[in-house]
Amino acid sequence: MIDKVIKSDEEWRRILTPEQYRVTRQKGTERAFTGEYCESHDPGIYQCVCCGTDLFESKKKFESGTGWPSFTDPLDPERIAYVKDFSYSMSRVEVLCAVCDAHLGHVFEDGPPPTGLRYCLNSVSLKLKREIEA
């Protein structure tokens, strides 16, 4: 069972930048090819920018050519929540942090093996906990 992180709108606004708030709390999207992690190849764990939950491994990141960081699968499926999204006259599956309900991006069924999934995420929804080389 996951312990939920619940904060008021005012608390989220205090701890997040305006862009982080717009994307994670208001279901926004950063512009393609502008995110910090779009072209990143640094090893580590991608965490939720809102609550710090470990979500995706850099080993599962791939170049999708879409302009957003893409992953084949989450670190732990229980840390991700899914919601059907019919905004903008499209049918998509929204990806949320299961701990704090932060909007991360969407998942599509056009990814590489072995999962065939593409978790297309906003860089601003994530923070990379980099691995330190020994």
Whether 120 is a known active-site residue: answer yes
Strands 126-130 and 54-57: unpaired
Q: Kindly provide the b/e burial profile for residues 81-114, where b requires at least 16 CB atoms within 10 angstroms of the residue's own CB.
A: eeeeeeeeeeebebbbbbbbbbbbbbbbeebeee
Of 38, 50, 97, 120, the active-site residue reads 120
What is the secondary structure of 43-66 as a DSSP string?
-EEEEETTT--EEEEGGGEE--SS
What are the catalytic residues?
Answer: 120
